[in-house]
Structure 1
Amino acid sequence: MTSLSLPRVLHPRKTSLEVERELFEKSQQQALQKAINANEVPVKQKHVRSAIIGTFHTQGAKTFWAIASRLPAMDDQIVAWKLCHVVHKILREGHPLCLVDSQRHVKDLDEIGKLWSHLNDGYGKMIRLYSTLLMTKLEFHKRNPRFPGHLGVTPEELESIAGNDNNNYFEMSVEMFDYLDNILDLQAAVFGSLNMARSNSMTNTGQCRLAPLVPCIQDASKLYDYCVKILFRLHYALSPDTLAGHRDRFLKIFKVLKDFYNNTTNLQYFKDLISIPSLPNAPPNFLIQSEFRMYVTQEVVVPQEQEHEDEPQAEGNLIDTTESDHAETASTISQNVYEQILSEKEFLKGQCEKLSSEINSLVVRHRQELKSLENKIKRLETDLASKDHELIQEKKDKEDLVTQAFAAVQNKGSEQKAKDEKFDKLKDFYYKLRDEHIQTIREKADVEKKLKASDSKIEQVEKDRVTLELELRDLSEKVTRTEEQLQNASSSQNEELEELRKDKELFNMETEILRKSINDHCRERDNYKAELTVALQDKSNLELKMEELSNKLSDNEKQTCSLKETNEFQLREILAKSIDSNKDIVKHAIAEIDNPAFSALTCSPDYLRSLTKDCFSCLEKCTAVSSNNVAQAIITSNDVANRLSIFILHGGATCNTSHDINFADKMSESCKSLGEIVSNILECLKAQKDVQNIVKEAFVKLEEISSLADSISSSLTGENKENLADMLENEMSEMDKAIEEAVNRIQEMLDKSKAADSGIKLEVNSKILDSCTTLMQAVRVLVQKSRLLQAEIVSQGRGTATPKEFYKRNHQWTDGFISAAKAVATAAKFLLTAADKVVTMNGKFELLMVAAQETAASTAQLVVASRVKADRKSDNLHQLATASKGVTTAVGEFIQTTFMILSVCWYYIVLMSRTFRNYMIFFE
């Protein structure tokens, strides 16, 4: 005992586990200090990899944060930037418990971001955005703990996480949008901070800034994929109006993300670090569910990094060597033996741990594969049952389609939609069945490969177990020989021998534990062989079901082909009849221009010009119509026919506002020419010919009509622009005079009729003139409300300017108001003339109906002109709308009264004709 030194007595020796723990913490500290330093160079991946391996060694990130918290992140901006990068890598690739352990350090990340956010240049803004991104990531995983750090989940796992609930999908998509917004804000700040003259992608400064974008790209790729799938699912279940905000937000993210990918792809620095897929030119259209089948998930590929030798680390002494020289010389033999035993023990322990981890991972992986195979088999069985039911249903639908073919032609609107849905359903069913068949064949090949690989791995495990038992036997023999040598040693080494015996006992305990672990793995291997046997049986059953499914698929393909031919023939007939109907609409619009009653209708050039944009857009759609897409051709032809016929009619109405007859005739002929060109376009769509040249002619003709309308507008307001206020006041006065004159004239006609007529004629004239009086009183109320609203518009819009300057500045609106006032005055005179002719028996009741409708149209024009610049919450506007409804009601009652009178007159005529015929028969 006297040979022991004082430090050895006072300080007990550390165990091997404590020494190993200290060495591990020291290596982790060195790796993090080398990875996170103040040098403006990118983080070396080998140091980050050491930190990631350390998280698996400690089963969490507590050691990492204990070391990272002592780094000077609050003193140096580059250290803070690199710390955020390393934390992002740890959260993505580290042990799953790193996400849990890092939740306690969210405030630390927030304080780092707030501190450096006050720095206007350098890394300040980027550090704040990066810390916000990390906090968003931790919050996302806190709300969705089943997402791993690298965000990679299968479609089944994604459905399980959301619980197949649309509300969960809705909330999850919003969280993913927020996550993507933070990523895109960070990348925008990084690219915005690059100075291409000093810090491009091939300099250390530029690479230090660009390196964190690699994990950001990996996260963004997964989030984009999940957002697309979730939005397609939500659009399948919910109405498009509910998801309008989601679509707008996704479109904005898509554009910025596409630019982000393009910027990173063009940089040389990223070519060796990551393979970035390119996004499509156009975002997915979530309103069309069939586009989801064409969507392909694009993975971001990170090439395997070359292995770099880590810097050599000094091994700590496993035993204490602080004894005196005399003790060291005396125990040389025992120390060598002890060191040999410890080295062999450490090597054997490492091999056992490695073998145990491989066996565990192999067992877990194959259990997961077996479970997935069982789920797929069950899913295929349910799909097969549903496919049989769908086949029976499709046969019934086919018979219904054949019986309802004629009805579908007559009711092409609703029935065409139903046929399209059924055809799409058949096509989707065919593609789905074919894809499942191909996928099943591929899964069969994968299962066979995995079974072969598992057999080879089991054989390798058996060989390793035998080798391990031999090594254990050799080691036991060495321990026995060591005991013999220790018994023959001198008495001065008793203390060392006692320590060796203790180590031997610990070693025996570890050996027993390892042997027990190997036995457990052997039992698990036997169980796994039994499970593989069951899987082989299931595979044989699956092959039989695949053959049955293939036979059913071939029968279904034949039925689908025959049904497809029938549907194509019917679709062609529907296309031809639809286009013929559209041509009739255009021809009717051309014929209406020459109708004398049409000459009383007017339209402002500004309104005609507003219709031009829609006409151009629908004509452009004609050039994109595919020859195979009948539905698109029908929709496009309907759009073209309706919009262009409306434009032609309004163009003819605009001609009526021109004072130059020759100019009006020229413009009406241009409208007719446009109608002929539209008919040619429809004929080309019907024959499935190229419409490029004819559409160009239509564009030229539209431009010509628009320029003519501009000429009318300039002629109306060009010279009189300065006197618009006086002109408006004069026209309003003339309108009031015309209405007042009409009311007085109707009253005079009523008085004359009462004095000169009697009986049925007096009653008819009284009802007609009373209806005219009621209508004109409603028009008078409408004009009064229009004047009040006009005064409110001028008072609110002119500011400090005079009313004349307001009318001059808004000359187009003033011109429309003048045109509306003229139309009302003209309609009042027309109604008065028609009533006079009917009362004096010189006119027809149809002319009176036309005059009433003309009055309603002119007042509607006045309402539209008044409402253009009015405040939507104005009381005068609401009163004007009420007065407009009163005019509409009065016109309806007027037409009803006229129609009733006309019916009574016909009844009396028929009755008198029958009476006269009976008298003639009697006299004969």
Structure 2
Amino acid sequence: MGTHKEGGATTFWSYVLNLPLSSNSIVSWKFCYLVHKILRDGHRNVIPGNLEASDETLEKEAGSDMNKVEANQAKSTTPAGQCRLMPLIPLIQDCSFLYHFSVRLLFKLHSISPDVLLGHRERFRDLFMSLTQFFDKAREMEFFKTFIQIPDLPDAPPNFLRAAALAEYKKPVVVMPNEEHHEEEEDVEPQPEFREASQIPQVRYIVVRGHVTLKFHHFLSNQYYLEMENDSLKRELDVLKPELQIIKNEAQRCVTELKAQVNRLEAEVEEQRTHKQMAIVENEHLRMEVEALRSTNVANIGAQIGFKEADGESSDVSMHGTQLNNTLAGLQVEKEGLLRMIREQEAELKTLRQQTHLQQSSLEQERQRSSMELGGLHAQLQQQLAQKLQEEQFCLLQCAVVEAEGIILDAVAKLDDPIHVRCISSPDYLVNRAEITLNSIDKMQQSHLAYLGNSNDASGLLRAVTQFSHLAADTIVNGSATSHSAPVDQANYLTDSCRDCANNCLQFLKDLKIQASLQRADPSAIRYTVQRILAVGQDLRPKGHDVLKEELGSMVDKEMLATSTAIEEAVLRMDEILSQAKKDNTGVKLEVNQNILGSCSDLMKAVHMLVTAATDLQKDIVEGGRGAATVTEFYAKNSRWTEGLISASKAVGWGATQLLDSADRVVGEKGTYEELIACSHEIAASTAQLVAASKVKADRNNKKLNTLQQASRHVNDMAAVVVTSTKHGQQQISDHGLMDFSGMSLIKLKKEEMEAQVKVLQLESQLEQERVRLGELRKRHYELGVSEDGGDGIDSFPPPPPPTLLDSTAVPQHIQSGGVYAAELIRLVSEAFPNTGEPAM
């Protein structure tokens, strides 16, 4: 602020000249920080001079390293550390602008000639990584979080070769929370002002306030520098390991060289010793010759001359021996020097060996410690893998339990479903389902105990839970269907038992789903409720039959023939209704009636094919199973199977008649589309009952059985087509007849709304009354059916309610209705358990 007021930094420099900058390091550091601050935020005329520097100045300054701030472990909690870290704030600001300028400049250069800028890109990448590391370290320190907001750089440097990257580039902005921006007036000449003496105390106040703020962050940076010290020690350890290996290799090399040098010196000493021995022997030989000559030199000159010559030779030999002695003395001295050198080298070698041994010991200890850590990590990894396997197995068990809960809840929902009121089931089939469910409960309990013993394998419990959920839901649905045709007291008791069974199943599955309650999960309550349902089903079994066993054979043939005849007549009648509809209707109504009647006619033809296939299979069963007995005796012997065939054939014929009547009423606009849907469901369920009854005694490899199964699938498909075409036609009629309320007034709309509400309430009341009436009709039908089943001869098509079963699992939408899915369910159950019980009646 002072530099802007006086238009320069004259006052600042006048005070700086009197400061002890060369003797006080703290004052010097603060001076550098203030100079940097003034250069960034002060007036433009803050410092005179230029950017020139001599070579001596550069060499002198090159030895100083700014990283000493980090090496000295500057603490932001101490005044000295805060003083060292404060100048980094303007440095961060400068780095942000320099980075932005460099990126823009490189993009500009790459737009001209990018091929020659490889070196620039490499240098920029190195600077980018250094700047990112500097920003990351500064960002981790609590000291800087108070004074400056450090910008985030991207994970990778910009791609200068792609021009579109410039649009994606974002300028890094440094934010100072308490920064005051001063505008410089460039066009106005600075006017001389009186410099008040209060500016210096103001600067000192700012510095003191900064110190107080820095002391406030004392405790925030201790952890950071401890972590840095730990990382530094780790890096030193990583650096020392290679150096230790290098020292070990160098010591080994020195030992090898010293051994080679010792061997060479020993060989030279041995050679000199050999030369010395040879010289001594030669000297002794010459001396002996001289003595011999002296003894023989008696009287002649020749002898004297010879003696003189010998004496001269002896002198020469003596001189030669003297020389050899000198040489030997020199060699001895050299040998002693070499031995002394060898001893020194051996001592040095011993020292190196000791150092190497110590280093090897430390390395061995490090290796053992690493091995122990590796073993601990391996054991921990094995434990984690085992824990993860157990968690995955329990997660799979939870998924299976959730799916099982959905199946049970779906079965419970059928108990209160008004559509389910039309469905009934025989007590025999209920008893069969309950017995199979009890067996599945035992298997599930065994699998539960096995899983508690070995939590790494939950496959057995998964299969047991899945099978149990389907069988339990099947038992609940069939128990509810059986109660629809039972007496009031038994029906209520059976319904309550089914609800209790469902609640116990859900509680057991809930215990299985939670880890804490997995140990105490017990299916005993489920077993008790299923046994209650089994007891009620056994009590509801018919006590006797009025039809003689001898008449069963003829009744089967008559019922099958009557059913086939009725279906053929229904097909012909359906064609007549279709022809009449073409004459009486036009437009959308004609299209809808054609689609519905066509699908109904196809369904009748499919049912006729199925009845024909069932008749052929029944004859094949009788011929293959009666042996030497007659047909009548075979039917009498298998009376329950025969009664099932009779009941199924009656239900099929009755369903065909009802479908024909419903189609006639719908075309004549006297019936509803729901009647057709219900009749198609009943026909599919009745044919499924007929298929199940026929399959009980059939051989699994019988070709006619395969034909019957294909015909059953075709009937299910045609029934689904009838439902789909009926719903589609109903939607077309409703869409065609939509009212237009755009011209009605507010009062008219309110009146129409009230009338619609009154009609809805009336229809709901009527629906409730019809439900009660339907229940009473079914109770009465059950009471009469036990006493009148087959007693007064054979009627063509008595109207007993056709048997159906509701679905207990999720099925496709086009076959999700009760009758069609019930047929498919009976077919699957009959294939899985061909001789375990009778189909639903």
Shorter-chain TM-score range: 0.3 to 0.5
Larger helix percent: 1
Structure with larger RCO (C-alpha < 8 A, sep 6+):
2
Question: Rg bigger for which structure?
Answer: 2
